[in-house]
Amino acid sequence: MSSDIFFASSNKNKYAEAREILEDFGVKLTFLKCKLEEIQSDSLENIAMHKALQAFSICSQPVIVEDDGLFIDSLNGFPGPYSSFVLETIGNKGILKLLSKQRSANFRSVIAFCEKIDKVSLFDANVRGKISRKEQGRRWGFDPIFIPQGKNKTYSLLDDKNKISHRYVSLEKFANWYLHKRKSND
């Protein structure tokens, strides 16, 4: 296993998924449970970068943060970077009430890695899909309403979610970059 990297978040579910995904690449995560300031921005990249710099200032160790958003086409990309707030206020049921026939969406993830003050590397991913007509399954977040392209079940009902999700793809990009970087430095 590689040396520890902290995963900064207040969301233990997000950490558990990231830990499971990165273990397959030989990267070990340690949970840095903290509430990071979420700046108001239309850019997931800016939000993730801000959080990574803040997390590094807390632990002074290599750290990653993940920010993601559900971008629904018929709602002009809403809730996008405001997904956490929307989930807390209107939830999945509220999102479903806003939609009519057009249900296509993107689920985006941005991983921000910081190991030095003012140096952040970003890794992003986008998974196309659609919003289901009703909640299906019990996982957390938008998993019960997002059906990835090529599948007929929501993330909540997929056994292989952690091999195909937006979070998986961005973490895979990070892991490949990080392991190559470590090997180059050895």
Cβ neighbour number for residue 147 with a 10 Å cutoff = 21
**Does position 157 have pLDDT exceeding 70, yes or no?**
yes
Better-predicted residue by pLDDT, 78 or 184:
78
Give the pLDDT band (50/70/90) at residue 182. Answer: confident
Give the pLDDT band (50/70/90) at residue 125. Answer: very high
Quote the CA–CA distance of 110 and 68 in Å, as a whole number: 6
**What is the tens place of the pLDDT at every residue in 59-71?**
999 999 999 999 9
Say whether 38 sits in a helix, a strand or coil: coil
pTM as predicted: 0.92
Give the pLDDT band (50/70/90) at residue 2. Answer: very low
User: What residue spans of the chain are helical by DSSP H?
Assistant: 12-23, 44-59, 83-89, 91-98, 161-164, 166-185
Backbone angles phi, psi at 105, to 5 degrees: -155, 165
Q: Domains along the chain?
A: 5-185 (3.90.950.10)
Residue 165 tokens, joined:
């999700």
Taking phi first (over 0 means left), then psi (-120 to 50 degrees means alpha), and beta for anything else, what does residue 8 get? beta
CB 30 within 8 A of CB 19: no
**Does position 3 have pLDDT exceeding 80, yes or no?**
no
Say whether 175 sits in a helix, a strand or coil: helix
Quickly list DSSP for 119-164: EEEEEEEEEEEEE-SS--S--STTTTTEEETT-SS-GGG-TTHHHH
DSSP state of 12: H
Residues assigned a catalytic role: 67
Taking phi first (over 0 means left), then psi (-120 to 50 degrees means alpha), and beta for anything else, what does residue 60 get? left
